[in-house]
Amino acid sequence: MPDPARPTVPTDLATPLAHLYRGEMHRMTVWRQRLDITANWAVLLTFGLTTFTFGSREIPHYTLLLGLALIGISLLLEARRYRHLYHSKYRLHLLEVGYFAELLDPSPGNPPQVWPSLLAEDLRRARFEVGWFAAIRLRLRRNYLLLIYFITSVWLVKLFIHPQSPASAAEFLSRFAVEELIPSWFVAVTAVGFVLVATLLAATSPAAEELERWETCRLTFAGDSTTKKAG
């Protein structure tokens, strides 16, 4: 039986909380679908540009550099959508662990919970629980780093085989130039820097499972309401 000394949610809030849970579940599903759509478009764009670029020798290699830029834009869009998804998961976790779990299996030994205050604070002043930079790193680690590696490899192969194999390393490096507008050394340095930075960001990012483990969130359920932080 529940401990009568512990604060409980009034029974007249059961229906509103159920509707809030259903609404947040729908919101999370929508953002999950939008996240998948962005990733699918990035994959289709990568393979479409690869097929198009290898279709003819006359197609310039920097078409694939444009593909890298478009993948970067897709990454920014997906990071934004992941922040919304993460926020919905945070609210759902508050409801599931704080209300539904306690409703199903009351634990008298647990300390008073503060999840209603946390949820009310988030409803009044909603804020993202994960930063933009962290979201970018996470999506890089999950999907986009492999796409960057793939399109960069295709770009190098295109430079090597079209119009024919280079006779020397100097000739190969000279093909990096974008017409007469951008010199070859600048393109090479920029491409290497882009790949290295992307690799570093992905390698230093925690996994999605770690961010969504909600360990700190569980600590707040134990009564520490001053450390509201998801993941």
Q: What is the pLDDT of residues 151-199, one digit of tens each?
A: 999 999 988 888 888 888 888 888 888 888 889 899 999 999 999 999 9
Residue 21: count other Cβ atoms within 10 Å of its Cβ.
17
**Which stretch of DSSP H or E encloses residue 140?**
none
Which residue intervals of 55-144 are DSSP H helices? 62-95, 101-104, 115-124, 132-139
Residue-level pLDDT at 154:
92
**Structure confidence at residue 229 as a pLDDT band (50, 70, 90):** very low
Which residues have C-beta within 8 Å of that of residue 168, sequence separation ≥ 6?
none
- Mean pLDDT is lowest, of 70-74, 109-113, 135-139, 178-182, for 109-113
Residue-level pLDDT at 218:
45
Asked if 143 and 214 touch (Cβ cutoff 8 Å), the reply is: no
pTM over 0.95: no
Give the tokens for residue 32: 């999950």
Residue-level pLDDT at 109:
55
